[in-house]
Structures are given as C-alpha cells and as structure tokens.
Amino acid sequence: MSLMVRRSLFAALALAVLGLAAQDAQAQAGRKKTEGCLVSLAEPKMVIKDRTSKKEIEFRVKQASSVLDKAGTVATKDGRKAQLTDLEVNRPVIAYWLVDPENKDGKFSNKVDQPDYLDGETKQPDPDILENAGCPTE
C-alpha cells in the first residue's frame, strides 16, 4: 500500500472517530439531572420525588447490559456498578436523563446513581442526607 493511500485511510478514520465523539458529546449535552428520593422502581418505570420541586417525576428505565449500552440505564450504588434492582426506595438518588426516544413527552434515565447515605460513624442512615434528598428520615 502506498504512503498516500495509507495517509488517506488514516485521515478518513480520524474524521470518523471525531464525528462519533462529537455526536456523543452533542447527545450528552442534552442530558439533564434530577436529584431526589427514590419513590418506586419497577422496570420500566422509576419515580423520583424531586428534592427542589417536591413533585414526583416518572422516568423510563431499562437495565443496561454494560456501561457501553447506550439504549439502557446504567446503575451505580455508592459509586460502584449495580443493577437497578439493587437500588433502595426511600433513599437519595441522582438520575441523569434525556427526552425519551420512545416517547417525546417522557423522560429516559440513562444513568441512575444512589450515593452513600450512611453516617460514617454509626453506619446508620444519616438523617441530614435523607432530609436533604426529600426522603423519610425514619
């Protein structure tokens, strides 16, 4: 293969990679975040009580097969990979979402994180963290 052909192939490959990266960045730019308390989660529906508005917001979720699954919902708990079924109700969550591609009036959460809500000393649920998220303090 001549040097000219190799350079052309390399340039085309580089442009394709840049195009995909720009497309992914554009999709992520439309992503929004909702923080609050997990009210219910039964795939394909998750309900979060927004900590600011105090309103319940419904999201469509679908367990992702891997972190690269763009059509699924990636779940993390305490910063570690988890399944949607591992997330606990009445506990703080952060949902990252986009307009649902299957329902333009809906929301699709492509990532849900349940941060650590336990007190470091007592290992019991921290009432301040729960209250800040709008969750029952038990």
| pLDDT(25) > 50 | no
Instruction: Single out the residue of 67, 70, 90, 68 nearest to residue 80, CA to CA.
Output: 67
**48 and 114 assigned to the same domain:** yes
Please give the residue that has the higher pLDDT: either 27 or 72.
72
**79 and 127 assigned to the same domain:** yes
**24 and 81 assigned to the same domain:** no
Confidence of residue 5 (pLDDT cuts 50, 70, 90): low
What integer pLDDT is reported at residue 66 of this predicted model? Answer: 86
Q: Is residue 40 within 8 Å of residue 81, measured between CB atoms?
A: no
Looking at the structure of the chain, the number of domains it has is 2
Q: What is the mean pLDDT of residues 12-20?
A: 47
What CATH number did the domain enclosing 123 receive? 2.40.50.140
Q: Which amino acid is present at 119?
A: D
Highest mean pLDDT among 11-15, 65-69, 84-88: 84-88
Q: Is residue 77 within 8 Å of residue 35, measured between CB atoms?
A: no
**37 and 9 assigned to the same domain:** no
Q: How far is residue 67's CA from residue 55's CA, in Å, rounded to a whole number?
A: 29
* Residue 111 included in any domain: yes
On average, the pLDDT of the chain sits at 86
pLDDT in tens, 32-62: 999 999 999 999 999 999 999 999 999 999 9
Q: Strand locations in the chain, DSSP E?
A: 32-42, 45-50, 56-60, 74-77, 80-82, 92-100, 103-114
What integer pLDDT is reported at residue 69 of this predicted model? Answer: 86
The alpha helices in the chain, defined as continuous H runs, are 3-29, 127-133
**45 and 99 assigned to the same domain:** yes
What integer pLDDT is reported at residue 57 of this predicted model? Answer: 98
Q: What is the mean pLDDT of residues 117-137?
A: 93
Q: What is the mean pLDDT of residues 85-103?
A: 97
Full domain range(s) for residue 11:
1-30
**22 and 39 assigned to the same domain:** no
What integer pLDDT is reported at residue 70 of this predicted model? Answer: 85
What integer pLDDT is reported at residue 11 of this predicted model? Answer: 53
Q: What is the mean pLDDT of residues 5-23?
A: 50
